[in-house]
Structure 1
């Protein structure tokens, strides 16, 4: 872990992006919660910060989002801060290794969607079951009830895993493709890694 690189993410640009990311997440989450949608819409800002600034600023934006949600309108949002953090870290990593950027093809985008959905469900399902008893008051609760009513479901945990995985696939697909569209609308100067690459090239030329 390169702490110097992590520190560089938290410059004035990175801090500004964190604020913007939190606002985007909060608005998306509020809409999803109000309409009882089977998605969360609370990681769009996290992912945008992660690709523009880096994984750690993305993680901070994600964690802060859940804490702010918790004290404003979402009484169960707090413990899920680790999910939003994980999304920021993984998104930033996938961007750095070239799996998620402006040039990503449909296969890469689907792969990113699945990866984010899997890690989100793996972290969130135990929280939902063991802290909240399987019910959080969100739109995904309906999916949990449907899974509990099927013969293939064995217990609450498997029902929650099934419902949250389905919800996460939809949620992360929306987020992945929306952030991808935003990336392609923004010039390279807004991407910290691209700016650093250009600076390095210019220094070599000198």
Structure 2
């Protein structure tokens, strides 16, 4: 009987096709512009993973992970020096989106919501210790940090307050980004989508 181990699944290919390599800088550009836009308007979301979502959906987990990582490094060199610290979070987001998308988690509105919840939890778990180490547990978003200050003021452990601060922002951000990415994906020409599926 043929071995159906996931280790041989196309999702886990180490090499990237020329098409996927071309996709990555586009995704990085989308991430960069979306994050700068959100920061410029002081929105309660980051939007900086939109390109990562799209890269993962079109090119697979590895493409998304590289897109997220690259964007954090570039952003840290231009607009926000500390952004590079969170590159590990972006890698995890890219991998998670790609795996969930391959398993059909972006096909219905309910599934998209569940996918956003899973991604938000993973993002918050990874980002919380980074927030504690570099920012005393805060995120830099005013209304989230207000919750942090309130919880700390009521003698909650810093890590609990920090996680809830991060998660509240992450869940809102990932819901917005997940639905937006799914909408954009479904507006793309089928020929383009099929092209990436063939070369993956």
Give the TM-score normalised by structure 1.
0.84
User: Any conservation in 2 of the 1:113–1:169 contact (CA below 8 Å)?
Assistant: yes
Report how many residues are paired.
191
Residues of 2 paired with 1:58 and 1:192: CA distance?
A: 18
- State the match for 1:172 in structure 2: 174
**1:192 Cα deviation (Å)?**
5.4
- Out of 8, 32, 35, the position equivalent to 2:41 is 35
Residues of 2 paired with 1:166 and 1:109: CA distance?
A: 18
Residues of 1 paired with 2:64 and 2:57: CA distance?
A: 8
Where does structure 2 lack aligned partners over 5 or more consecutive residues? 1-6
- State the match for 1:50 in structure 2: 56
User: Any conservation in 2 of the 1:52–1:190 contact (CA below 8 Å)?
Assistant: no
1:39-118 equivalent positions in 2, closer than 5 A? 39-100=45-106, 104-118=107-121
- State the match for 2:144 in structure 1: 143
- Out of 167, 170, 186, the position equivalent to 1:184 is 186
**1:82 Cα deviation (Å)?**
0.8
**1:31 Cα deviation (Å)?**
1.6
**1:2 Cα deviation (Å)?**
4.2
- State the match for 1:203 in structure 2: none
- State the match for 2:130 in structure 1: 127
Answering whether residue 7 of structure 2 is matched by residue 6 of structure 1, we say no
Residues of 1 paired with 2:20 and 2:196: CA distance?
A: 14
Give the TM-score normalised by structure 2.
0.86
Superposition RMSD in Å: 2.2
Aligned CA distance change for structure 1 residues 3 and 96 (closer, same or farther; 3 Å)? closer
Residues of 2 paired with 1:192 and 1:130: CA distance?
A: 44
Residues of 2 paired with 1:193 and 1:33: CA distance?
A: 34
Aligned CA distance change for structure 1 residues 195 and 157 (closer, same or farther; 3 Å)? closer
Residues of 2 paired with 1:126 and 1:41: CA distance?
A: 21
2:52 is paired with a residue whose SS is helix
**1:131 Cα deviation (Å)?**
2.7
1:77 is paired with a residue whose SS is helix
1:10-29 equivalent positions in 2, closer than 5 A? 10-29=16-35
Aligned CA distance change for structure 1 residues 68 and 153 (closer, same or farther; 3 Å)? farther
